Structure 1
Amino acid sequence: MELVVKDISFGYNKNVNVLDKVSFSVRSGEVLGILGSNGTGKTTLLKCINNIIRYRSGDIYFNGQSLSGLNQIEMAKIIAYVPQYINNMFPVSVIDTVLMGRLPYSRYGYSEEDRKIAFDTIRIMNLEKFAFRNIMEMSGGERQRVLIARAMVQQPKIITLDEPTSSLDLHNQLFILKLVSEIAKTNNISIIMTIHDLNLASMFCDNLLMLKDSHVFAYGKSQEVINEKNISEMYNVNTKVSIVDGFKHVRLLKE
C-alpha cells in the first residue's frame, strides 16, 4: 500500500502559495520525516493530507484512489492525525480519550469490540495504570502516548504526527520515536511526521522531505538527505556531519 502526494499546492491567500507543487510518496511500514524552518508549511502539509484544509491543486492518492472525494468518516479509516502537543485539552479520562478514535466505526455508541480494541491499545502503549485518570493530570510524554493510542484505535493505514517530540524531555523524545517506529514496522502502517531535530530524524526516519520556499528542497533516504550542504542551504548554519553507530550525526559549528 502506498500514499502518493502529487503536485499539492496551497495558500492562505490567493496571491501566495505556502506549498507549491509538493510531491512525495510513503509506503506501508515506512517512516517519513518532514523537515524545514519555521513557517515553511510543514503543519499545513499535514493538514492537506488529512483533508483538514483543502489544497488548491494537485491530488492525494491511497492505493491509486483519490482521497479528495472521501467524507470525514471514510478519511478517518485511512488516515489518523496526532496534533502537536497542547495544554488546552478537555478534562476527560484516558479511556474516554482513546475511545474517541473509534468514532468512525461507532454509529450508536461504543460496542464491546470498540472497548476491547481501546483497552488492548492502552495495554500496548503501557498506559494501563492511567486508564481512568484525568488526562489533565498527566505529563506531556504521557499525554502524547494517549493521543497516539487514540490514533491507533482508528485502525488507520497512515498516521500523521505534528512534532510528536515538541516540549518533551530527552527520555520521552526517545520513547515516543521508538514507539512510533515500532508501530510502523509491527502494524505495517505508514508514518508521516514533522520533526526539527536532525539527529533524531536520522535515527528514526526511513526517508526525509525537506521543505524550503514552498517547494520540496530535498527528498530521499535519510542518510542521503542529511548532509552539510543541504543543512547549510536549508537553515543557513554551519555543521559537521559524521556517522555515529550507523546514523548521520549533526554537530553545530560556531560561526
Structure 2
Amino acid sequence: MRIEIKNLSFSYGSTKILDDINMQVEDSEIISLVGPNGSGKTTLIKCIDRILKAKGSILLGGRSIDSLSRQDIARSIGYVPQSSSSPLSTTVFDTVLMGRRPHISWNVSDADLDMVAEVLELLHLGDLAMRDFARLSGGQKQKVLIARALAQDPAVLLLDEPTSNLDILHQLEVMEIIRYLVREKEISAVMAIHDLNLASRFSDKLAMLLKGKIFAFGPPEALLSSRNMAYVFGVEATVIEVAGRPYVVPIRSLDGTAIPNMATAAGINSPLLA
C-alpha cells in the first residue's frame, strides 16, 4: 500500500519534533529512517500509525488516515514497538493471536488459528508457542511482537528498532524475513533503525533525519557517505562497498575521541587514519 506523507509536523507542547516532512513509500518497498537520537524517527513512525496526531497529511492507498477508523488502520498497518510489557500472563500463541483482533467479529476462526501457526513457524517461534510471554528474553519478545504484527496480515509494516535486543544471527534472520514478506506480499515497510549497515543492506531507500527534518532521502549508496556521517552523526567514518552495498566503518567522533580498532579490524587502509 502506497504511503504519502505531505507537510507533516508534530510538536510536544512548544517543542517541535517533526518539521515539514515529505516522503513517499511505494508497494514492495522498505524505507529505513536513520539519524541520531532525538531526530524524530520514532515520532514519525507513531504519526504514520496515528498513535500521535500530527499536522499535515498522511495518505494510505490514496485515503487520508484521518478518514479511517482505528479498526481500519489496524487492519492496514502492523506496528512493532521497540518493546512491550504486559501485566497479564499470556502465552506466545495468544499474544500473536491478538494481532488477528481487527479481523475477528465474534469468534476466533480456524483461519485465524492457521494464520498464527504460520507466522510462528515463519519466525521459528513454534517451540515457544505455549511459553509465558512475560518470561521470554528481550530478543524473544521482540520476535513475538513482530509475529503479532504479521498476524494482522497488514498492507503496511511499521517497525521501531526491529532488531533491538537481538544477536547478530537473529538480526539477519528478522531482516531477511521482513524483506521476504515485503517482496512476496507486496506490502510497504517503514522502520526506524540505528544500525546503518543493516539499513544499507536491506532497505530500498533511506530517510536521513536531522533535528526533525529530512536531511536527505534516497538509496543507501547515495546517502551513506563520509560527508553525511560527519554532518549528521558527528562521526568521522570511511564508507566501503561490501556485497554491492555501502558499509560504514566509524573511526572517531568529531570531538576527537577515537573509536578503537574499528577500521584496523576491518582491514581498511584509509587516509582518514593518517
The interval holding the TM-score normalised by the smaller chain is over 0.9
SS of 1:96's partner is helix
CA distance in 2, matches of 1:243, 1:168: 25
Letter matched to residue 106 of structure 2: Y
For 1:47, the equivalent position in structure 2 comes to 46
- 2:30 paired with 1:28: no
Residue 168 of structure 1 deviates from its aligned partner by: 2.0
CA distance in 1, matches of 2:86, 2:197: 30
Letter matched to residue 63 of structure 1: G
Letter matched to residue 32 of structure 2: G
CA distance in 1, matches of 2:110, 2:172: 34
Residue 131 of structure 1 deviates from its aligned partner by: 1.3
SS of 1:249's partner is strand
Task: Report the TM-score, using the length of structure 2 for normalisation.
Answer: 0.88
Distance 1:235 1:89, change over 3 A: farther
CA distance in 2, matches of 1:89, 1:222: 40
Counterpart among 219, 229, 242 of residue 244 in structure 1: 242
Letter matched to residue 98 of structure 1: V
For 2:214, the equivalent position in structure 1 comes to 216
Q: 5+ unaligned residues in a row in structure 1: which ranges?
A: none
Trace 1:1-255 onto structure 2 (pairs within 5 A): 1-13=1-13, 15-55=14-54, 57-86=55-84, 90-254=88-252, 255=256
1:34-74 per-position Cα deviation (integer Å, ceiling 9, x unaligned): 0111111111111100010100x210112211111211100
Q: Which contiguous aligned blocks of 4+ residues in structure 1 show a shift greater than 6 angstroms?
A: none
1:81-100 per-position Cα deviation (integer Å, ceiling 9, x unaligned): 10003456643101100110
Residue 244 of structure 1 deviates from its aligned partner by: 1.4
- Tell me if the contact between 1:85 and 1:164 (Cα under 8 Å) persists in the aligned partners: no
Distance 1:186 1:175, change over 3 A: same
User: Which region of structure 1 is more displaced relative to structure 2, 3-12 or 165-174?
Assistant: 165-174
Max Rg structure: 2
Aligned identity (percent) is: 37
CA distance in 2, matches of 1:90, 1:248: 44
Give the number of equivalent residue pairs.
Answer: 253
| CA RMSD in angstroms, aligned pairs only | 1.5
- Tell me if the contact between 1:122 and 1:131 (Cα under 8 Å) persists in the aligned partners: yes
- Tell me if the contact between 1:22 and 1:215 (Cα under 8 Å) persists in the aligned partners: yes
- Tell me if the contact between 2:142 and 2:165 (Cα under 8 Å) persists in the aligned partners: no
1:165-218 per-position Cα deviation (integer Å, ceiling 9, x unaligned): 122222222221112111211221111110111111111111100111221101
Task: Report the TM-score, using the length of structure 1 for normalisation.
Answer: 0.94
